[in-house]
């Protein structure tokens, strides 16, 4: 989403990029809600690091 925003901002300007990104995000959320799907976080390295930190703290 971030890449989409910055590329569009460069081409069309800030206001158009904000509206287009918000619309894209709303479409994703709407599809998830209507299909009753859970959010899938895809950045595995970040998730692994967070799990390791939680294990170290004992939570």
Which pLDDT score is estimated for 46? 85
**What span, in angstroms and rounded, lies between the C-alpha atoms of 25 and 58?**
35
Domain boundaries, the chain: 2-57
Query: How sure is the predictor about 14, in pLDDT bands with cuts at 50, 70 and 90?
Result: very high
Region for 26 from its dihedrals, namely left if φ exceeds 0, alpha if ψ lies in -120 to 50, beta otherwise: alpha
Give the distance between the most distant pair of CA atoms in the chain. 48
Q: Over the stretch 17-58, which tens digit does the pLDDT of each residue have?
A: 999 999 999 999 999 999 998 887 778 888 888 889 998 887
């Amino acid at each position: 989403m971030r890449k989409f925003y910055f590329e569009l901002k460069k081409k069309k300007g800030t206001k158009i990029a904000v509206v287009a990104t918000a619309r894209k995000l709303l479409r994703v959320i709407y599809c998830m809600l209507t299909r009753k799907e859970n959010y899938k976080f895809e950045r595995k390295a970040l998730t692994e690091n967070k799990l390791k930190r939680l294990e170290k703290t004992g939570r």
